[in-house]
């Protein structure tokens, strides 16, 4: 173990000398954190704040349907989620959308109400600015939801009239009210299979473990580089157990990985307001994830003959694990994909953080033990196979 | 210790697939002795020393290092060997001192002793003034010297040098050879592989001529030359040589023939080193004036050619 530590220290010194330890362990995580910050527009703390969309309306209808739609927009605007501009003509509205004066505009054509109430098809036109795709999508959703509401109201009013509960003279007003009424049944949030961390922390955590794969790969690539440079022969000629070499290399990777993850967790917490959960629980999961990933990458790299081959193999493993483990986007827990997902340290790290968000340190223990299990199994096989690499 | 032998390699065998790289190589090295493995590239020199150093699992044979059996997994005998690989085996991003310290730790040298020993080794290999510079900044020769320094850091009983002068400029090469001579004079056993005949002749007490994985002949330079029956030529330019002088010269022990030419004498002798003083004594006794002496001895190149039918650099 003493010799393994000597080799680990030497590896760390070499990585410090060629600056890769700073690039991989410090600069890159910080750069990632910075990019996350940019992506999430000023920080995670802003996510909970209201985003205000700018939209416009050219209501050429003048009937109850047009008024009802304007009422819907007004009610959203009253919540502060929408700022509405009104246009007198469709051309003005289109021009405003084209020139970016507003994110999207609704054009309600003349005769909209009479067409709808007469049973004919009618169209609410949504014109979006090319640089505001999100606003345009939201506008389209509002229009579609309103159209759905109108169809529901039409059906309800029709039924009421057929049964005599509603007089024809009251039908138009009733239809308008029905179209804007809140839904009778609210669907509550469905409880997920595991508790969830907020989306920004999710992406920071996901990408940090993805990045960890590349740090962990250094254990094997470093050994293959030593073989190429001839220093491995010197290590093999020394009176040390050959396993000390692979263990020492892995120790260096583990230390760099732990340092890098720590930097990322602290940085994202301080400058982005990320909420990782209980520090002890996070520490536990980080340790488990680092050990599991280093072991997996040792296993993956053991099949390579050169450092370049090892790098390619490890990249494939990192991306595959990232995709399956939900690093880039949440994936379903069902079916084959769900089962495959549970074979990755990425998924268990994310799951552990999710559990941690809803409970104490004990909630993270199952994920921690699975990560350690992955580390033990793949690490044992990896060290066994890398034994064949430890030759001149 | 095994009969004063630091190393005893017996019947070493190693194959790589169908290629028999080493086929029953045996040799031994005593305390303070420098043993050379002389042979062309691909002769089996590096494979042999890889087995001796415990780097390579042998297919057959035995290696005893200071009486202990050497394998790839035994640790104690490795403590007694200092390996200097053919290719540079140093960390270019570390200084000479850091390189030495790292390998010193691997050989479990105590801290205080290590610091002192590092200074000594830096002095021996002539790198004291550049000890704290990164070795990537060194010349090729300096890197080679550091490569050797790492090998002798832990005071091994046997220093194994695998073609240490390949690709080295003449000045650095000479410095390396002087270092090896110095170490040998201090009692260190040295195993030296080379395909340079001059290095083997200069450094080695005994030489094993290796080709195609087999040792073709072994012995001192003189023994090897005698093996092929060639004689030394002493050419003396002298005045006042008469028949009596020639008769006395021909009567000296080890002299095969004496042929006078226009202004000199050509003597074929078994051993020029032994015959020359005697010849000078005879010439002086006869009042002959000697103006020049040249000695031409058959070299190991000739021995190699005789034994293998090809030149060393083929």
Chain B residues inside the 8 Å CB shell of A5: none
Written as six digits, the tokens of A220 are 């094997």
Degrees, nearest 5: CA angle B53-B58-B63: 50
B103 and A238 within 8 Å at the Cβ level: the answer is yes
Point out the least confidently predicted range of A234-243, A319-328, B68-77, B117-126.
Answer: A319-328
- Crossing angle (nearest 10°) for helices B111-124 and B140-152: 140
pLDDT at A172: 54
Inter-chain CB pairs, A–B, below 8 Å: 66
What does the pLDDT look like over A78-132, one tens digit per residue? Answer: 877 788 999 999 999 999 988 888 889 999 988 888 888 877 778 888 888 877 7
Band (pLDDT 50/70/90 cuts) for residue A40 is low
Are B106 and A233 an interchain contact pair (Cβ–Cβ within 8 Å)? Answer: no
Q: Which residue of B has its CA nearest to A4?
A: B106
> Could you tell me the pLDDT band of residue B10, with boundaries at 50, 70 and 90?
very high
Q: Of A141-145, A150-154, A381-385, B30-34, which one has max mean pLDDT?
A: B30-34
Residue pair B208/B27 in contact by the 8 Å Cβ criterion: yes
Can you say whether the dihedral through the CA atoms of B298, B304, B309, B314 is positive or negative? negative
Q: Which of A155-164, A229-238, B78-87 has the lowest mean pLDDT?
A: A155-164
Task: Write out the residues of chain B at the interface with chain A, using a CB-CB cutoff of 8 A.
Answer: 50, 53-56, 72-73, 75-76, 78-79, 81, 83, 85, 87-91, 93-94, 98, 102-103, 105-108, 134, 150
CB B149 within 8 A of CB B122: yes
**Is the predicted pLDDT of residue A43 greater than 60, yes or no?**
no
Task: Give the whole-angstrom CA distance, residue A53 versus residue A285.
Answer: 39
Q: Which residue of B has its CA nearest to A240?
A: B75
pLDDT 10s digits, B130-182: 999 999 999 888 898 899 999 989 989 999 998 888 877 888 888 888 888 88
Q: Which of A174-183, A210-219, B80-89 has the lowest mean pLDDT?
A: A174-183
Answer whether residue A195 shows pLDDT above 60.
no
pLDDT for A226 equals 86
**DSSP 8-state symbol, A11:** H
Q: Say whether B86 sits in a helix, a strand or coil.
A: coil
pLDDT band at B34 (very low <50, low <70, confident <90, very high): very high
B98 interaction partners in chain A (CB closer than 8 Å): 13
pLDDT per position as a tens digit, B208-230: 999 989 999 899 888 888 877 77
**Domains of chain B with CATH codes:** 5-226 (3.40.50.300), 231-297 (3.30.70.260)
Query: Hey, which residues 149-188 in chain A have their CB within 8 Å of chain B?
Result: none
Selection from B216, B221, B201 nearest residue B307 by Cα: B216
A174 vs B304, more confident: B304
- Give the residue on B whose Cα is nearest the Cα of A230: B89
- Percent of chain A at pLDDT > 90 equals 14
User: Does the beta-carbon distance from A238 to B56 stay under 8 Å?
Assistant: no
Instruction: Please report residues of A whose CB lies closer than 8 A to that of B102.
Output: 6, 10
Q: Rounded CA gap, B49 and B45, in Å?
A: 6
The distance of B111 to chain A (nearest Cα, Å) reads: 13
Beta strands in A248-330 (DSSP E): none
pLDDT at A243: 83
**For residue A390, is pLDDT > 80?**
no
Using CB atoms, which residue from B50, B81, B91 is nearest to A231? B91
What is the C-alpha to C-alpha distance for residues B177 and B188, in angstroms, rounded to an integer?
14
Select the residue from A223, A231, A249 to test the B interface by mutation, using most B Cβ atoms within 10 A: A231
Give the chain A residue whose CA is nearest to the CA of B79. A239
* Domain definitions of chain A by residue range: 2-44+198-386, 53-180
Burial of B128 (0-12, 13-18, 19+ CB in 10 A): middle
Separation between Cα atoms, residue A294 and residue A250, nearest integer Å: 7
* Inter-chain CB proximity B105 and A6 less than 8 Å: yes
Q: Which of A203-207, A317-321, A373-377, B255-259 has the lowest mean pLDDT?
A: A203-207
> Would you say residue A369 has pLDDT above 90?
yes
Q: Give first-to-last CA distance, chain B, whole Å.
A: 39
Domain range A53-180, its CATH number among 3.30.365.10, 3.40.1710.10, 3.30.360.10, 3.50.30.30: 3.40.1710.10
pLDDT for position B232: 82
Please report residues of B whose CB lies closer than 8 A to that of A238: 78, 103, 106-107
Contacts of A6 in chain B (CB under 8 A): 102, 105-106
Residue among B85, B91, B107 whose CB faces A238 most closely: B107
> Would you state the torsion angle of the CA atoms of residues A36, A39, A45, A51, taken in this order, to the nearest 10 degrees?
-170
Average pLDDT over chain B, rounded to whole?
A: 88
Nearest-angstrom CA–CA distance, A43 and A272: 5
Nearest by CB to A239, from B78, B91, B94: name it: B78
For residue A391, give how far its alpha carbon lies from the nearest alpha carbon of chain B (Å): 7
Q: How far apart are the first and last CA of chain A?
A: 22
Banded model confidence at residue A45, pLDDT cuts 50, 70, 90: very low
List the beta bridge partners of residue A217: none
Identity of the residue in A231, A236, A239 whose CB atom sits nearest the CB atom of B107: A239
Whether B108 and A239 lie within 8 Å, measured CB to CB: yes
| pLDDT at position B266 over 70 | yes
């Amino acid at each position: 173990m003493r010799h393994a530590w000597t080799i680990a220290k030497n590896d760390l010194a070499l990585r410090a000398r060629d600056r890769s330890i700073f690039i991989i362990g410090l600069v890159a995580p910080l750069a990632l954190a910075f990019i996350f910050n940019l992506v999430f527009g000023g920080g995670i703390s802003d996510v909970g704040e209201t985003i205000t969309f700018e939209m416009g309306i050219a209501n050429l209808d003048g009937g109850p349907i047009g008024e009802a739609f304007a009422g819907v927009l007004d009610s959203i605007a009253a919540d502060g989620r929408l700022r509405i501009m009104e246009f007198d003509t469709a051309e003005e509205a289109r021009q405003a959308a084209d020139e970016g004066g507003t994110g999207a505009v609704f054009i309600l054509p003349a005769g909209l109400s009479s067409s709808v109430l007469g049973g004919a098809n009618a169209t609410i036109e949504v014109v979006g600015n090319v640089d505001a795709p999100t606003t345009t999508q939201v506008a389209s959703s509002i229009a579609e939801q309103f159209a759905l509401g109108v169809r529901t109201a039409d059906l309800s009013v029709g039924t009421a009239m057929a049964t005599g509960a509603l007089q024809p003279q009251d039908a138009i007003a009733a239809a308008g009210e029905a179209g804007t009424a809140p839904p009778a049944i609210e669907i509550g949030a469905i409880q997920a299979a595991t508790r969830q961390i907020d989306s920004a922390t999710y992406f920071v955590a996901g990408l940090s473990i993805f990045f960890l794969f590349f740090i962990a790969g250094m254990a094997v690539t470093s050994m293959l580089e030593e073989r190429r440079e001839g220093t491995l022969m010197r290590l093999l000629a020394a009176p040390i157990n050959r396993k000390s070499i692979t263990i020492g290399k892995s120790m260096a990777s583990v230390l760099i990985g732990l340092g890098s993850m720590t930097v990322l967790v602290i940085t994202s917490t301080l400058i982005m307001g990320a909420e990782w959960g209980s520090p002890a629980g996070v520490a536990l999961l980080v340790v488990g994830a680092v050990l599991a990933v280093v072991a997996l990458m040792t296993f993956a790299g053991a099949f390579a003959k050169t450092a370049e081959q090892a790098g390619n193999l490890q990249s494939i493993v990192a991306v595959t694990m990232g995709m399956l483990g939900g690093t880039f986007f949440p994936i379903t827990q069902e079916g084959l994909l769900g089962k495959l997902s549970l074979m990755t340290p990425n998924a268990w790290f994310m799951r552990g953080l999710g559990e941690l968000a809803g409970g104490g340190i004990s909630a993270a223990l199952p994920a921690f033990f699975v990560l350690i299990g992955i580390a033990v199994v793949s690490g044992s096989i990896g060290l066994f196979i890398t034994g064949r690499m430890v030759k001149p | 210790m095994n009969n004063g032998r630091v190393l005893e390699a017996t019947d070493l065998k190693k194959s790589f697939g169908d290629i028999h790289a080493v086929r029953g190589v045996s040799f031994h090295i005593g305390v303070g002795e420098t043993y050379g493995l002389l042979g062309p590239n691909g002769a089996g020199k590096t494979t042999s020393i890889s087995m001796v150093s415990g780097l390579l699992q042998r297919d057959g044979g035995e290696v005893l290092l200071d009486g202990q059996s050497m394998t790839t997994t035994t640790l104690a005998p490795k403590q007694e060997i200092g390996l200097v690989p053919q290719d540079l085996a140093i960390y270019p991003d570390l200084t000479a001192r850091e390189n030495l310290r790292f390998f010193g730790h691997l050989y479990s040298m105590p801290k205080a002793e290590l610091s002192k020993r590092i200074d000594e080794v830096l002095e021996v290999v002539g790198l004291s003034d550049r000890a704290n510079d990164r070795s990537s900044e060194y010349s090729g020769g300096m890197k080679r010297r550091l490569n050797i320094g790492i090998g002798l850091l832990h005071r091994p009983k046997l220093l194994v040098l695998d073609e240490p002068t390949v690709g080295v400029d003449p000045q650095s090469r000479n410095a390396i050879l002087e270092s090896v001579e110095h170490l040998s004079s201090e009692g260190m056993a040295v195993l030296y592989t080379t395909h340079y005949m001059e290095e083997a002749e200069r450094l080695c007490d005994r030489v094993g001529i290796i080709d195609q994985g087999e040792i073709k002949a072994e012995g001192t330079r003189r023994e090897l030359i005698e093996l092929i029956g060639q004689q030394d030529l002493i050419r003396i330019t002298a005045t006042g040589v008469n028949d009596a002088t020639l008769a006395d010269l021909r009567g000296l022990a080890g002299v095969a023939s004496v042929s006078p030419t226009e202004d000199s004498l050509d003597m074929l002798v078994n051993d020029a080193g032994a015959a020359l003083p005697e010849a000078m004594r005879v010439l002086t006794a006869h009042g002959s004036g000697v103006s020049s002496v040249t000695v031409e001895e058959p070299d190991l190149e000739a021995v190699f050619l005789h034994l293998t039918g090809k030149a060393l650099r083929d």
